[in-house]
Amino acid sequence: MRETDESIPTPNTDGLTNRERLRWHLTSALASAESPETKAHLRGALAACQYLPPTPLVECPLCGKVGLPERIQVHECRQS
Residues binding Zn ion (CB under 5 A)? 60, 62-63, 65, 77
Radius of gyration of the chain (CA): 16
Q: How far is the CB of 72 from Zn ion (least distance, A)?
A: 7
C-beta of 21: minimal distance to Zn ion in Å?
23
For 3, phi then psi, to 5°, come to -75, 135
Q: Which is nearer to Zn ion, 39 or 65 (CB)?
A: 65
Return the number of the residue (11 or 64) whose C-beta is nearest Zn ion.
Answer: 64
CB 3 to Zn ion: min, Å:
24
Query: Which parts of the chain fold into alpha helices (H)?
Result: 18-32, 36-50, 69-74
* Rounded CA separation 31/10 (Å): 14
